[in-house]
Structure 1
Amino acid sequence: MSAYQLLYLDRIPPHAAVNEAVSIAKRRGHAGISGMVNGVLRSMDRGRSELTPSRIKLDDPIATIALRHSYPEWLVRRWADAYGYEVAESICEAGNRSPHASIRVNPLQGSREELLAELGEAGLEAKPSALAPAGIVVESGGHLADMAGFLSGRWSLQDESSMLVAEVVNPSAGMKVLDCCAAPGGKSAHLAELMEGKGKIWANDLHVHKRELIVQQTERLKLRNVEAITGDASTLGERFAPESMDAVLLDAPCSGFGVIRRKPEIKWTKTEGDIAEICAVQRKLLESVCGLVKPGGTLVYSTCTMERAENEEQVAAFLKDHAEFQLDPEWPEELLATFREAGLIEGSFEGQLQLLPQHYGSDGFFIARMSRVR
């Protein structure tokens, strides 16, 4: 712990970290251990400029990246196979950074420009998101969930990448929309805001207690066109009539490796076997809900991971089995311009995109938009 304090933390002065370690060693160890602890830590303190992860070099590049950034080798290997060594290391590095705070403006209660001005007057350091049209990045300030603007429904707390999903669905006022795995309700609420509170959104979740989270969210935002329902998403085809939805959003259960910044334990608790099991669930859900999309309607599939087996390969397998669907590149032009400027889209665009956590400092996210052509 003392070595970690010296190398990675800046609030504890080096001498205090060393003295505390020596004190613990005297209490917990044998007579000579405190001198060894003192010597090792003081040597580390003197050589801190050389003790950097970049100096770790092993014969195996996978082992090198894993050790530098504290990731399991099997996960680094999967990313290296998918994206190459350099990108895999950037993913690991980005996952170890602290997430920044971002909020989504409720356009039914004011514009982003108005809210930016109000936040500035309140002493918060805030700027428009470079990624999400409704997003604001708050770099310093108070506890956002306790502020009057949040409590009155002026904004919601949401990661910038997650804000893109509803934008890609791009619903219109008056539509019928189904959000299959909705809790805690951020994307359902965003859909309702984009629909100007008109039409109908069914926000479904498997768990009863999570339904209450959706209800709380929509009530706080004063959205009246969202109905929170409970049930297994794989049975929604039995609950709703075939071809009855203008749009269906399946934000599918996934490995969650795109949110390691927020949940660092999952890189150690997940296994390769978990990915295979999750893929099977995703396939089942896609098969169960696709029939609810009406001809000419939209199916959006999204995950918060960078696993190609859960993303591009999942979509390719679905489209192979369902000739009535095709990838739809008709995303909002504002989003496409942002991605092209960042070099994430080159040439033609098919209708699916993988965001990595290092691209914008947001969560890793995959989004595919598909249209039903018949």
Structure 2
Amino acid sequence: MKKQPKKIREIALEALEKIEKQQTYSNLLLNDLIQKYQLTGRDAGLLTELVYGTLQRRMALDFYLQPFLKTKIETWVRHLLHLTIYQNVYLDKIPERAAIHEAVEIAKQRGHRGIAGMVNAILRSIQRKGLPSLEMIKNPIEKIAIATSHPQWLVDRWVEQYGYEKTAAMCEKNVTAPTQTARVNTTKATRKEVVDLLRGEGYQVEESPMLEEAIHAIKGNLAYSQAYREGFLTIQDESSMIVAYALQLDKNQSVLDACAAPGGKATHIAEKLHCTGNVTALDIHEHKIKLIRQQAERLDLSNISTKILDSRNAAEHFAKESFDRILVDAPCSGLGVIRRKPDIKYTKSQQDITSLQKVQLSILDAVAPLLKKGGLLVYSTCTVDKLENDAVVSHFLHNHSDFEAYDLQVPAAFIPFAAGHIMQIFPQDFNGDGFFISSLRKKV
């Protein structure tokens, strides 16, 4: 007898379990599961919605569920209940009765009749009595934390750094779905030509109002397009694209990308150099260097060279003052990309941020001697934490008298977010990733 294919909610439950047990990155696991079960179109979209949505709203779902629990339950049962409550509270296209029925069926398959009965009883009780109201929470910071499922230490930290209103807006944005954005490879085609190619394949796309090489995907995953496979585009957020502009590139320059994987910024730099000069891309891991090479080959970029190297040891491998531009897109907490990786907010700690700052400073210290006089050093992160951003830049300038702050040069749409030599973008600013960029110049 042929085995029935797994249903989407069963796959979603599998994903939630693996993310918690194995500390697997949600975005990577989802891609693997979509390929494993050969999901396309609506099914792939529903799985993504269920997994990301349930992860994003985990603390709120716990708040809603807790009054209905009489005994301790297994982790997978909690995930199943979260998944069902998420559908009933946050999705309006799935009938409540259907979601409950399927949860009970999954409970029967995974557990036994007793567990299925308990799941049914809890969900029917929620249906009769209704969910507890978030208005019961009187502390405004605690209310933001639970309503948007951000650990309270993180909300406290952001309120201290940016104030209540900006923090509330950021937390609310972090539980919405991100837009997929792609960068056109302008060495091969114009944006209009790539848009036409994608529309010809059946994708719904529109031109970005923020950057001339950016495209927004309205429907369909552009990473599966023929245009992507043939090297006409790269998946990259607009916030991240600003880095190449901040470097103020000219033809034939030598550029060091000190923390280059998976290669989005390195390839953008290579494109902006019009395939002249050289981009030296470093990463500590061999498999990540392989990813950069694959991207360069796919995009037909011959001006990228790679090296497996911890950038903190770069001075042992390159001569002093050998690069016109240096990019340090540093390892960071990733708190600006919570919408794309919702598990980040539950796994990071304050200690992680302090430890990362030491790594960030050590990388900057190591590569600084490699920059030519008059050259630009751009420091960037995909976080919104001041300890990893403003504090790192201030500390570096304090300890390196041969460097000075240098005003960022960015496209017109980004001028409102720049303040002299630094720019902090928040997810709510224009629906992009949270991102930090700073421009520093080596004195002549």
Measured in 1, the distance between the counterparts of 2:384 and 2:119 equals 45
SS of residue in 2 equivalent to 1:107: coil
Pick closer, same or farther for the CA change 1:169–1:3 going to 2, 3 Å. same
From 110, 113, 117, give the equivalent of 1:27: 113
Superposition TM-score, scaled by structure 1 size: 0.90
Q: Percent identity?
A: 39
Per-residue deviation, 1:257: 0.5
5 Å-filtered alignment, 1:136-285, equals: 136-141=215-220, 143-285=221-363
Aligned residue number for residue 85 of structure 1: 164
Aligned residue number for residue 38 of structure 1: 124
Measured in 2, the distance between the counterparts of 1:22 and 1:237 equals 61
Amino acid of the structure 1 residue aligned with 2:257: D
C-alpha contact (below 8 Å) 1:178/1:247 kept by paired residues: yes
Q: Deviations over 1:176-209 (max 9, x none)?
A: 1000000111111000000000011100000111
From 128, 145, 148, give the equivalent of 1:69: 148
Amino acid of the structure 1 residue aligned with 2:182: I
Runs of 5+ unmatched residues, structure 1:
none
From 113, 120, 126, give the equivalent of 2:192: 113
Per-residue deviation, 1:244: 1.1
SS of residue in 2 equivalent to 1:5: helix
Aligned residue number for residue 58 of structure 1: 137
SS of residue in 2 equivalent to 1:173: coil
Measured in 1, the distance between the counterparts of 2:116 and 2:275 equals 69
Aligned residue number for residue 339 of structure 1: 414
C-alpha contact (below 8 Å) 1:245/1:292 kept by paired residues: yes
C-alpha contact (below 8 Å) 2:255/2:326 kept by paired residues: yes
SS of residue in 1 equivalent to 2:404: strand
Measured in 2, the distance between the counterparts of 1:90 and 1:224 equals 43
Moved more, 95-104 or 207-216: 95-104
Measured in 2, the distance between the counterparts of 1:21 and 1:243 equals 62
Measured in 1, the distance between the counterparts of 2:292 and 2:103 equals 47
Higher relative contact order (CA 8 A, sep 6+): 1
SS of residue in 1 equivalent to 2:187: helix
Aligned residue number for residue 298 of structure 1: 376
C-alpha contact (below 8 Å) 2:336/2:427 kept by paired residues: yes
Per-residue deviation, 1:20: 4.3
2:443 matches 1:368? no
C-alpha contact (below 8 Å) 1:352/1:368 kept by paired residues: yes
2:393 matches 1:315? yes
Moved more, 130-139 or 245-254: 130-139
Aligned residue number for residue 353 of structure 1: 423
Per-residue deviation, 1:35: 5.4
Per-residue deviation, 1:238: 1.4
Runs of 5+ unmatched residues, structure 2:
1-80
Superposition TM-score, scaled by structure 2 size: 0.76
C-alpha contact (below 8 Å) 2:201/2:225 kept by paired residues: no
C-alpha contact (below 8 Å) 2:173/2:428 kept by paired residues: yes
Measured in 2, the distance between the counterparts of 1:317 and 1:261 equals 30
Measured in 2, the distance between the counterparts of 1:328 and 1:13 equals 56
Amino acid of the structure 1 residue aligned with 2:390: E
Amino acid of the structure 2 residue aligned with 1:373: K
Pick closer, same or farther for the CA change 1:154–1:59 going to 2, 3 Å. same
Pick closer, same or farther for the CA change 1:176–1:37 going to 2, 3 Å. closer
Per-residue deviation, 1:63: 1.0
Aligned residue number for residue 133 of structure 1: 212
C-alpha contact (below 8 Å) 1:301/1:368 kept by paired residues: yes
Amino acid of the structure 1 residue aligned with 2:195: L
Per-residue deviation, 1:28: 2.3
Per-residue deviation, 1:21: 5.2
Pick closer, same or farther for the CA change 1:32–1:176 going to 2, 3 Å. closer
Per-residue deviation, 1:130: 2.9
Q: Deviations over 1:260-295 (max 9, x none)?
A: 112111111111011110001111111000111111
From 83, 91, 99, give the equivalent of 1:9: 91
Measured in 2, the distance between the counterparts of 1:155 and 1:22 equals 44
Pick closer, same or farther for the CA change 1:182–1:67 going to 2, 3 Å. same
Per-residue deviation, 1:253: 0.5
Amino acid of the structure 2 residue aligned with 1:88: T
Q: Deviations over 1:322-341 (max 9, x none)?
A: 12211211514xx2x2134x
C-alpha contact (below 8 Å) 2:184/2:233 kept by paired residues: yes
- Aligned-residue RMSD, C-alpha: 2.1
Measured in 1, the distance between the counterparts of 2:435 and 2:123 equals 44
SS of residue in 1 equivalent to 2:217: strand
C-alpha contact (below 8 Å) 2:278/2:303 kept by paired residues: yes
Per-residue deviation, 1:256: 0.6
C-alpha contact (below 8 Å) 2:408/2:438 kept by paired residues: no
Pick closer, same or farther for the CA change 1:291–1:120 going to 2, 3 Å. same
SS of residue in 2 equivalent to 1:174: coil
Amino acid of the structure 2 residue aligned with 1:260: I
